[in-house]
Every structure is written in C-alpha cells, then in structure tokens.
Structure 1
Amino acid sequence: MFPYRRILELQGEEERSLRSIAAITHHSRQKVTEVIRLAEKRGLKCPLDEDMTDPWIEDFLYPEKKLEDSGRHVIDFDYLYAELAKPNVTLTLLHEEYKREAQAQGRIPYAYRTFTEHYHRFAQKYKATMRIRRKPGEALEVDWAGSTLFITDPDTGEKIKVYVFVATLPCSQLSYVEGSLSMDLAAWIKLHQRAFAYMGGVTQIIVPDNLKTGVTKHTFKELVLNQTYEDMARHYQSVIIPARVRAPKDKASVESSVNTVSTWIIASLRNSQCFTLEELNQEIHQKLEAFNHRPFTKKEGSRWSAFMEEEKFALSPLPAKPYQMAEWRTAKVQPDYHISVKSMFYSVPYDYIRKQVDVRVSDTAVEVYFHHMRIASHPTLYGKYGQYSTLADHMPAHHKQYAEQTPAEALDWATKIGEYTLRVVTYLLDSYTIEKQAMKSIFALKKLERTYSVQEIERACHMACHVTNRPTVKSIQTLIKNNKRETKQKTLTQKNQEVDAKHGFTRGASYFGGKRK
C-alpha cells in the first residue's frame, strides 16, 4: 500500500523537505508532491486521527479511483460540485451531460440513481455543504428565536425583555444573531440590513415566517406582503418567498439554527448581566463568532470556512446606498389639491383631486404614488403642525398666477408698464404694513391687463398720481373705465363728423326744423 500517512506526517510534523521525504519513502518526488498538494486542497492536515489509515487517505484523496476499477465512465466530482453552484443547474441535467460524454468516448455511464448516490457520498465526506437542494447564495432564512434574553434597568433593576433575531444561510449554515427591544417593522428591517452587512452580500431569496410584520396575508390563492418589507427586498434586488403556513420544513435551516443558537448563545448568556442593548449585542457577537467558527462534528471546516470558500462568491453585492426605512400610507387628495400626512400638508397635481393615493413616508422625503406611478415628491416637514409644502406646478393656472406674486415680481411688472405704474406699485408696497395685503391690491391692479392695454393702465396711473399723492387701485379702476368711455364717445363723434363732411348734400335736422340729438 502506498504510504500516504507516512508522507503527510513527514511533511507536517517533522517538516521534512520533499527530497528527503521521497528518499525515506522510496517514491518519486513528483508523486510525493502530488499527494501533499491534494491533501492541502482537501484540507487534510496533521496531526491525523488513528482511523485515518492509508486506505482511508487514498479513498479521501482519490475518490474516483474505485470507480475506475468498475469499467464505467469516471465521474468528475469536483466538476459536478462546481457546476451545481450555478443557477438552475441540477443533478438531472449534469447526469444527461455525463451520459453524452460517456457515449462519445464509448464508455458505459452510471445510471442516474447510482450517479446521485456516488455524488451524495462525495459531498458528505469531502465538502462542508452538499449542493443538491441548497444552492449557494440562493436563500436566507430569517426568524425570531422562541427564547429571549434580558437587560437590566440600571435605575430600577427591572428586567427588560430582549428578542433574538436569527438569519441563516442554508448552504453553508452561517448564521447571524442580534438582540432587539421590539419586534416591530422598523426593527425587522434594520436587522435584515445588518445581516446583509455581516455576510457582505444579499441572497436571491429571503424566506421569513408568516409573521404579521412582514406578511399581510398568505393563503393558497393569495400572498400579500407588507409594502415596506417588499420595498426593502426590491432595494436589495431580492425576492421574499414566505414559508407556507404550518410548514416549518420550508425554513428548516433557520429552525435548526434557532435551536442551536438557543443553546450556544442564549443559554450561555443566561448568567450575564447587561445594562444596555449595545452591551448585550457585543456579548452576542462574541458568542456568534465562536459559534460560526466552531468546527463541524462530522465534516471538515466550520460554518465560516464553508461560507468563505463555497458561498460568499454567489451572493449579490450590496447596493451603493443602504435601504432607507419608509412607511406606506393611503390618503385622499382634498379639493385644495393637498394631502394630509402626520398633520402636515403636501401638494399633488390638481388633476388628482378626490383620488385615493399611496404615500411613502421616510425620514427625508414624502413620495405620492397613483397606480404605482410617482406623481409628487416633497422633503419631509418637521416642527409645528399644519405646515404646507406646495409646488407651483401642482396648481391650476389662475392659482399659480396668484401664488407667484412677490414684491420683486410686482416691481418688474410695473417697470415694464411705465413710470407712473411703477410709482403706484411702490406706494402700495410702502403703504401697507402687511405685505400680503399690498400684494392683494397689486394683483387686482395687474388683472386690469386682461381687459385694458398697457397704455391705458399707464394713463390711468398717470392721472391718479396727478390727482392725489395716495393713489388707490379703486380710483385707478374708475379712471381707466371713464377714460375708456370717453375715448369711445370721442371716437363715435369723430366718425359722425366724418360722415357729415363726406355727405354734405344730405339735409340735416335743421332743415326739417328739428334738433340734432
């Protein structure tokens, strides 16, 4: 029998050179190098257990050797293991490819059942994870532990309950654990974010239980997720698929991890006294690191090594910005084209008056959606209740015109009209103690532009300024109407005179003894 054990002991414990090991064992240096490199690749290190005999080591380093003696086409287990990590690749597909390869070489392939049995034994013996039903980076199972911890109030000595959140990757069995003072939606979202940060990536699927925080309704025909929870998953480019009701096997990994965590973390901290949640979570983190680095009992490696070697590469990268917690509400657009959110008022386009809209409220922004289309966005208002955030683009045309009135805009308008109009506007701005009252009068003056020309407005202002040093909009309105009437009368008289001059042979009223009216 080839001296596998002797070679590994000479290289590991006695630290002999390859040349000296080859001389002692009477084998070529190439063969000795091959054995040592295969042992390093498989994670086989000294000291070796007593049951690791030469036949055991040969079977461990060369699993395909027994299969070669059967005369069948050899199975490349490392290739199968690597391919099963890819999306949508199954053992059924790999067996079909294996059969085609065997037929092309004129060899007899293994039947599917034998093929899977050989791979099953290989994966259990040589790998920390077995890629048959559990794809790396595919799912993250999350749940609350049934057991709880406590912190002590330093002032009263009261024990405050702390709930324990557990997240587990089914492939590598890596877990994340953290305590929380509440089980509400905000805590649930933040704990997910910290789990993603701890693992350095995001899985394709998140598998929670049917807790009310994350799942609104889950029946055979309908699944309704909490909108904020679904929004968070969309931000991380993941999908939420809750476990079936009363089907704990759908998240068996986290159920098993909860039991193990309850022993190795929760129970081990039963005598610890912490006064703050941060202090307790530091204790939990220390226990978690020991838990994830604890060696497997029946396999080589640990949860952490299995994660780093076989699963971390499959996780999707974290987004550039972390998810910002937001709350979803519904509101009805009022006749003044505003909605009420936490006693603050935000405008939406006036076309949506009396419509029901969805509102996403975060710490920095209030976003309004109608049929999943965003129609408005405002910075979140803080402070005194009853504040308004109104965008001019949301107003009807006549409201927008009124809202745009400012002293600077009024002075610009008056300058374009003429000198005396500017004098009237300046006087109005100076004469009122409240700016809003002055702007109301100026707006009434500007409305004259809809009926009268610029020259007529300037002429009325000119006349008002010569009559009094305190012109009013009412007097200007009267003057411009009178001027219009006088101008009209003069125009009519002038036309009559032109007619009389043109038709001089026509007998007038005096001819018939009447009077011209």
Structure 2
Amino acid sequence: MADYGAIMALVLEHRSYSEIVETVGCSRREISLVKKTVHAHSITAAQAAGMNREQLERLFPDGRKNVSAGFAQPDFPGIVRSMKSNRHYTLQQAWHRYLQLIGVPGKKYGYTQFCQLFNDYAATHEVVATLHHEPGRAMLVDWAGDTLALQDALTGQVTKAYLFVAVLPYSGMVFCRGFTDMKQPAWNSAHVKAFEAFGGSSQIVVPDNAATATNRHSQGDGTRIVNASYRRLADHYGTAVVPARSNHPRDKAAAESAVNVVNKRVIGYLAEELWLTLDELNAAIEERVVEINEKIRRVDGSTRYERFTQEEADLLQPLPAEQFDSVEWKQLKVGRNYHVSADYQHYSAPYTLAGRILKVRLTSLKVTIFDGESVLCEHPRKHGRKGQYSTLPEHVPAQHRDVAGLWSRNWFLERARGFGPATVEVIEMLLDRAAIEAQAYLDCQNILMGLGKRNRTRLEAACQQVVNQHGYPTYTTLKRVMAGLNSDSQQAAAPSPVPSDMKKKTAPPSPEDEPLQVFVRGADYYGEGR
C-alpha cells in the first residue's frame, strides 16, 4: 500500500507529480487520488499532519486487500533482479515459476492478473515502461542472428542463408524468409514479401539502425536519416520508417522475441538437414512459420493467427495495385565470354560487343542491358548459388553453338583432332580401355584441357612418343614425357621399324670368289725402338 500520508503532505505543499513520484515512489494514479480526496474533504495541512493510520485507511481503502489475502504474493523484486541479469528472462517464465512454488499457502494468480500486478509494481518502483501495442500500427523487423547452410549440388560449395524476421507485435504474427545476403535489394524484397504475407502494410515499420535502413547526415553526426531506397519502399506502401533508438532494445522487444522464436522453432529444426536450393529452404521455413502462427497456443488459449484474423487483419492498410521493385543501375563491361557480371551472376550480351561498357538496370526480377538508350536484351534475375549463367541463343557466336553431345566420345575426339593424329589415337586408347566409357571422360578432359591448354604442340609430340613406344597412355605418363621434351617445338621422331632379333644365315664361299687378302705385321715391327 502506498504511503498516502506522505503523498498528502507533499500535495498540500503544492509539489509537482514528478517530485512526489521521485520522493515517495508512488504512481501518478495514486497522487491523483490523493488530490481528489483532499479537495473533496477540504483537508488542510494541519489536519493531514494529525491523521493516524486508521483515518488514512478510511480515506483511502485498499479494495484489493481482502481479495489478495487469499492469494500467494509473487516476488516482484526478485523478478526485476532476474530481468536485469538475464535479458532473455520474460514475465511468462516468471509466471510459470510462480505457479510451481511449493509450500506457499494461497491460490495463484492467472497470467493476466500477474502481468497487471507486475505493471503496477513497475510503475511505483520505476522499473520499466510497459509497451502497449495497437492493432495494425507497427511491424518490427530484424535479421535473425543465426544462419542456415546451403550446399551447392554441383560444386559442393557451402554458403550461408540469412533469415529475415518480421512481427506484428499486437497479435504476435510472425513472418520469416531466407536470403543469400543482407544487402539492400534483399532487405527491400523481404519487406515486400512480409507485407504480402500479412495481406497489408502497417502504419509504421520499426527496424534497427542497420546501413540498409538508415544513414548518418555526415561523418561524426549522431543523427540518422532513412536511406533513399528504403524511403521509396515506405512511400510506395504508405508506411513510415521509425528506427529504434540506439542502445534501447526494448523499443523493438517484440522483434527480439520473434527472433528468439525463429531461432528455436525454425533454425533449431532445420539446421541439421541438407539444403541444396534457397527455394527448397524457404518452403521448409514456411511450414515452420505456419506451425508458429496457427498451431502453437499461448497462455490465453489463442493462437497468433486467430488474434490476427479477428482483431488486426482488417486494420492493416491495403496493398497498392503494383508490387514495389527496387531499381539499381550499373555500368558493366562485356567480358570475352560475351557476358556481364552482376552480384556474382552472369548475363549474356551480343558477342560482337565484347569489351564494350554497357548500362545495366537490375531489379529483383529482371536484368535489362542497354546500349545507349536502346534495350539490347532482358534476362530473369538470378538468385541463390553464385556463378550462374543466363545465356540467350542469339548472343552466341556460330563456333560456340554446336555443343550437342557434350562430354561424349565424339566430343572428345573432335577436340583431340585440333592437336593432331597422335592425340586422337591416345584419346581413343583411353576411351576403349575403360570398362565403362564414361569413366575415361575425366582423364580425357584433364589431358586435353589441362596438359594441352597452353602446350598443344608439345602434347602432340608426347602422344606421338607414347604411340611409337606402344606405351600405356595416362595423364601422369604424358606429363612426364612432356617434361622431358626440350622445347614446345620439338617433334617426336618418325616411327622406324624395330631391328630383327634373328641372325642372318650366310652362304659358304665359292671357289670363284677372290681369296681374302690378310696383312700381318712381322715380329721386327714390334722390336725395340719402334
């Protein structure tokens, strides 16, 4: 019970509400009650000073005293200490612990009454201000701190998927979606998807002070402004961006709570599975979010979806006829492979423009390439795994169009003919030797595209040498033979017949043959002095 005697004395001294609250530690509601009572009974300062406890209780009866006497009283000071030491500690956790108290006589308060009593305690002890959310007013947004892994099916490369979280704090309705980065296009696209999922836009959007939301006026200036791209999105949907204050996490406590739920109910369930595409991952995320919104019942027995449809959905602002799409312009050079590269993805242009710098417009759905003011072509925007190609057939030169039979026997033999007949023979030997022809494809590729990439003449010479020696061609053998050649221009010797190992039979001399002349030195030749 408040110290009404002290409050009355300060009221009669004409002190302000703030001074009385600071001095006595009461609520403004109690000060207002004392003022009304003093005015109604024309109480003077002398009368107030002479009042005893019984008189004060008659003037200010505590209607809750008899009712609360039969209830076990919560330990609100202990709850405040837990909240200060553990930022994840919630009133719901405190209420569950209160229900589990053993050996404390009396009934237990329900969750609603428990929260009301805590709010009264917080107001009189200046603990925290409770945020009361209005339906349809705000949408709180943030990135979840944890990520999920995406593994490319072809290369095995692992990348991160970042989860965007939005929540309507009144109903608690949650939205979540994965993206491959946290850049401005992903941030804007995430808001668009969230508005579409909720079926409308809120009056305000509350982000933190990330670079995708706000910028500083100038270096060293503490004030921040909403960046241009984000502001255009807000204008399109008729909403206002109101960033949370720095170092005030309670401004977006509902978003922190939603991130907590996503970490446990989405990431906790999906982190141990293998995800090959972002679409596959988002489908799984959507299933988990449906469970959060529609199947999990809260303390009051309702689900987030039920409260959203009954009390909040109709108060959201209708969506505009056209979806917002952010636009980004770039000056990009056409590479030797007649593609421009944007955000690690590749889009073709006419091969005759290789080396030119072209103007490119990027949206979340399309990539449009301009030559001056003329539109050259449009591609669907690539998302997900880095290094994907979008190639239009008319952009490909004639010599690159015939790719039928890629990675086949004919394909490898056709490329081997560009080196020479010995290389063709070696490739044929490799293909014929394999029990399953496709097992030799990788060896063929390593020889032609590896060893022969910058040493065509030397590879042909090495293949000729292996053929001459009736060797067993392998990548390692050819590499060793190539290393032994003196120069790239050295050619292997033409094949020569192997000498016979049979001894030739000679016919006996005939009498008609001339006698063989033999000269033998005499003994005097070897005498002393010679």
TM-score band by shorter chain is 0.3 to 0.5
Structure 2 length-normalised TM:
0.40
Structure 1 length-normalised TM:
0.41
